[in-house]
Amino acid sequence: MWHPCTQMQRARTAVPPLPVARAKGPWLEDYEGRRYFDANSSWWVNLFGHADARINAALHDQLDRLPHVMLAGCTHGPAVELAERLSALTGGVLGHVFYASDGASAVEIALKMSFHYWRNTGQDAKREFVCVRHGYHGETLGALAVTDVAVFRDAYDPLLMRAHMVMSPDARQAGEGESAADVAARAIAEVRTLFSQRQGHLAAIIVEPLVQCAAGMAMHDPAYLRGLRALCDEFGVHLIADEIAVGCGRTGSFFAFEQAAPPGEPPLWPDFVCLSKGISGGYLPLSLVMTRDAVYSAFLGDDVARGFLHSHSYTGNALACRAALAVLDRFAEDDVLERNRADARALTTALAPLHGDARVEHMRQRGMIWAFDVREPFAGERFAERFHLAGREHGLLIRPIGRTVYLLPPYVLDEGLAQWLAQRTLATLDATLRRTPDIHAACTPEPPVA
């Protein structure tokens, strides 16, 4: 087997894949019966733990009725109901849902739809895309063209469509006396300059609202999203919110973009939302793009080519849609967002010792995502790999991004589990840094800051 996102030479020698025999709740179990806490929700997809009883029951029921039927020329209940329920969550503003299977395919769809919309409305010149420094939108060629993570992109760069790049609003860039909102304001000013220069040529800007996850959980102030919405309105540019990683409650609201408007003010919405990962609870591949009536209507007409002729064989798979409906049921029945707030407080408290730890910086949290960066001299060579292996020894499945350690657990924490998770994370950090080659020669540790 050729594993994804893996240098196989390394997998054959230093980091063999963890063989997982079964899973229940947040726990993965290997063939020897050892348990590992799934601290990154299996690549950010799992919301309610593995083998959740209610999602399992829904899938068993769906399996006997209709596992799959093609969605061109046919329709089915779970796809219709899911579209209706998601639309309702936006008050009907994003009232049209186009299905696909993986996250990257949703990004392709949003880009193509935006371009095609401008063509259908006689504005053919609007065909350029804008993306954000360090952004990540998937690995297919279109998605990679608006992605800025060198390790994924560089080898294929000659193949890629050219997109404009604007600065990241990452709050870690704040200078002396600058706040996260100040960084957001700087980033917005840069977008304004580009929008003015390329007026009439831009189709869309694509962003990951609130957290650029693959960039190493880079978080920004919601004012950035507000600023983007205003600029997109002013210059007639589509706003694509890639909520593949940050949607479904991960940042504290069901859609991350809901935090764009200040509390008490009318909601702001992007023109497209891409969802995947958590929407089907970590069970089955499902992605979708939600958009406005104005976009949908522009594709109507007698001419076939005016329509959106995009498809994937498993588009809107009935089992996957049914899993997603069970996920939405969980949100409705269990007051998930409120419970997550309480659980998040418990984990934040348990991680508090890291604040005074001179080995780490930029401790940050939004919703159900926690991250900190290990300072360069402490991290040493192959930090992510060493931390990951030490994590396994401490009963954790955890995969840092570069020097960034993050926790993105399933929504099944309680106070005891939060304390356990924090304690194991700290122990893994200690074990990893104890083994950092030459660390004591490389630097003198700074005294802890209060």
Ligand X SMILES: Cc1ncc(COP(=O)(O)O)c(C=O)c1O
Between CA 442 and CA 358, with CA 362 as vertex, the angle to 5 degrees is 40
Cβ-based neighbours of 335, under 8 Å, separated by 6 or more: none
Residues 138-177 that bind ligand X (CB under 6 A): 138
CA distance 77 to 321: 9
| 218 lies in the site for ligand X, by CB under 6 A | no
Positions at the binding site: 43, 103-104, 136, 242, 277, 311-313, 399
Nearest-approach distance from CB 212 to ligand X, in angstroms:
8
| 102 lies in the site for ligand X, by CB under 6 A | yes
Nearest-approach distance from CB 106 to ligand X, in angstroms:
7
Cβ-based neighbours of 232, under 8 Å, separated by 6 or more: 205, 238, 239, 271
CA distance 370 to 354: 12
| 370 lies in the site for ligand X, by CB under 6 A | no
From residue 160, alpha-carbon distances to 111, 154, 240 in Å are 14, 10, 19
Strands (E), 246-368: 272-275, 287-291, 360-366
| 206 lies in the site for ligand X, by CB under 6 A | no
Supply 384's token pair: 């992510």
If the CB atoms of residues 100 and 433 are measured against ligand X, the closer one turns out to be 100
Which residue has 């995502």 as its token pair? Answer: 369
Nearest-approach distance from CB 4 to ligand X, in angstroms:
9
Binding-site string for ligand X from residue 267 to residue 306, where x marks contact by CB under 6 A and - marks none: ---------x------------------------------
Q: Which stretch binds ligand X (CB under 6 A): 166-174, 241-249, 323-331, 378-386?
A: 241-249
Q: Which stretch binds ligand X (CB under 6 A): 54-62, 198-206, 237-245, 441-449?
A: 237-245
CA distance 215 to 172: 12
| 208 lies in the site for ligand X, by CB under 6 A | yes
Cβ-based neighbours of 28, under 8 Å, separated by 6 or more: 18, 20, 22, 35, 36, 37, 38, 50, 397
If the CB atoms of residues 276 and 340 are measured against ligand X, the closer one turns out to be 276
| 107 lies in the site for ligand X, by CB under 6 A | yes
Positions at the binding site for pyridoxal 5'-phosphate: 103-104, 242, 312-313
Helix (H) or strand (E) holding 168: none
| 137 lies in the site for ligand X, by CB under 6 A | yes
Q: Which stretch binds ligand X (CB under 6 A): 86-94, 99-107, 219-227, 389-397?
A: 99-107
Residues engaged in binding ligand X (CB under 6 A): 102-104, 107, 136-138, 208, 213-214, 242, 244-245, 276
